[in-house]
Structure 1
């Protein structure tokens, strides 16, 4: 991406994919962008989605969409036609390829430098798979489309001292986690986290606290040897490369203020080790960031909420936070 070499005086250009049309993505996008003049006065947004759908869902939640996009400068719509008419809360496999088209357009634009960052509203994996396209998730798809061998999922809360949790493994059955961990993979994960916290978040010397895998971080080998055989050697190697990674800490005690005050990020070994804590602490304003990509991508930390779609009861807080972070990351990257 060419954004790092571009002038920092140009407004950041953010693409937003509106995700599953039967879900809350379209209406949350409208609600979030209704505050553009206040939240992001210098940013420009391209909303990817069906123009009629966006207007209908905006109207349903009381947003004057026509006025918002009237001048086409602050907010513009890049129309992509639905595969079939969409009803809030009703999935239709005919729209699976439409959802992927939105994502492909955003990725291609970011790689080409047309967009400085992309923000993704939630999609429904089943709709895409039912359309005949094997699909594991946003993170894996972004890695494949950008030819990135390793990416890292990091969820984060906003605030003066944000809580960030990155994952050494993502969507794996628990029985497969231990075999998926290696010294080499952990060192590479730590390298990506360290690099992107410096580049995108303006942290000159990130401090990363690393959990153990087993209860009590293995209890000196009595409850498992992964800490001794894999995690500690990985930390030693990472430290030798100038990465401030500490641990392994027992996961049941690490998530306390006395530890987190010293941390810029926590690296957890598996999905449900770190994310329940983060979501409890930040739900409604938590976000998902994909580290290691050649482009910037942020997202909400929730799903399509089909039961809330079209009702106006869904909370746009997470999407607003994802946009905030995308704008900030783009500015840091261009300044760096």
Structure 2
């Protein structure tokens, strides 16, 4: 089926991430991988041009402003100055505010209808914290705050596996205190709703992991399962949700269990994501559920050591862009 004309569709915003990382390398490949797609890259035009020359890429860059049409023949770029001289592979806190400006413009554009959704290339939390906002913990939390949303859910997905998180970027010693009935219930409701409405899963089946080894071993290895997780699951099952668990994380990711599930809810970041990334690193995407707009991202970091080398894989950004277009109905 041919794509609709670019003029018929609102563009997706694609933020270029940390200017010293591989984000600029990746977005410069979009015209080749997504020909004719209505995309607007948010980044520093000079940085993108310099990176294209460094990589010996023949890419036409076209300055874009709100109200313009996204070009199908050139890479439309909404110029956002980086704030400092950029050298590929050398992170600089002086660029932090410029990187946040990319996000702010993309968020505002999604909220006011300029953009159909957004795709984010990787940024460095350390650079942002050092140069702009010491409280910054990641894209997911920042998007929720700027959008006025109390709770969102981070989910990574491959063609074969979806893993959502009950908590995201927290120190491990804080995770247990963050598992409470209200937040866990809200997370499961968001996951269930978006699986139905955005992923067209009519009756979502969600497998919930326990927090403790052996899912607490009946309280002998921790009481979070007995005191919080099981009561929440029982209450939501009574409303009609199909929930299994809490299951021990060390045996949950097996074909027997996964074949019966549409998504897995892990209690913390490094409980669920190592398995997903092992099974599909470089092809997985990060999706923020619960926002009033579509947001997808790559499954990897800034890879400063690869910036400007031509060796960075484009697969995750390409997948994130395709998924954003599908979820936004573009």
TM superposition score normalised by structure 1: 0.89
How far 1:140 sits from its partner (Å)? 1.0
> Match for 1:49 among 32, 40, 43?
43
Structure 1: tracts of 5 or more residues without a match: 1-8
* Alignment map for 1:141-220 (pairs within 5 Å): 141-157=142-158, 159=159, 162-220=160-218
Please say if 1:109 is aligned against 2:103: no
Q: Is the 8 A contact 1:25 1:304 kept in 2?
A: yes
> Match for 1:30 among 28, 31, 40?
28
Rounded to whole Å, the distance in 2 between the matches of 1:101 and 1:67 is: 20
Rounded to whole Å, the distance in 2 between the matches of 1:12 and 1:266 is: 32
Residue 129 of structure 1: aligned partner? 129
Q: 1:63 to 1:202 in 2, by over 3 A?
A: farther
Residue 246 of structure 2: aligned partner? 248
Give the 3-state SS of the residue equivalent to 1:314 in structure 2: coil
Give the 3-state SS of the residue equivalent to 1:34 in structure 2: helix
Rounded to whole Å, the distance in 1 between the matches of 2:237 and 2:55 is: 51
Rounded to whole Å, the distance in 2 between the matches of 1:102 and 1:309 is: 19
Q: Is the 8 A contact 1:191 1:243 kept in 2?
A: no
Give the 3-state SS of the residue equivalent to 1:65 in structure 2: coil
Residue 5 of structure 1: aligned partner? none
* TM-superposition CA deviations, 1:281-326 (whole Å, max 9, x none): 1111111111111121111111110111000011011111111111
How far 1:76 sits from its partner (Å)? 1.2
Please say if 1:61 is aligned against 2:59: no
Deviates more, 1:141-150 or 1:26-35: 26-35
TM superposition score normalised by structure 2: 0.91
Residue 98 of structure 2: aligned partner? 98
Rounded to whole Å, the distance in 2 between the matches of 1:329 and 1:153 is: 16
How far 1:12 sits from its partner (Å)? 5.2
Residue 76 of structure 2: aligned partner? 76
Q: Is the 8 A contact 1:190 1:243 kept in 2?
A: no
Residue 4 of structure 1: aligned partner? none
Rounded to whole Å, the distance in 2 between the matches of 1:294 and 1:227 is: 31
Q: Is the 8 A contact 2:210 2:245 kept in 1?
A: yes
What count of residue pairs does the alignment treat as equivalent?
A: 317
Rounded to whole Å, the distance in 1 between the matches of 2:242 and 2:57 is: 46
Q: Is the 8 A contact 2:215 2:247 kept in 1?
A: yes
How far 1:216 sits from its partner (Å)? 1.3
Structure 2: tracts of 5 or more residues without a match: 1-6
Residue 3 of structure 2: aligned partner? none
Residue 232 of structure 2: aligned partner? 234
* Alignment map for 1:302-317 (pairs within 5 Å): 302-317=300-315
How far 1:129 sits from its partner (Å)? 2.1
Q: Is the 8 A contact 2:125 2:137 kept in 1?
A: yes
Give the 3-state SS of the residue equivalent to 1:166 in structure 2: strand
Structure number with greater CO (CA < 8 Å, separation at least 6) is 1
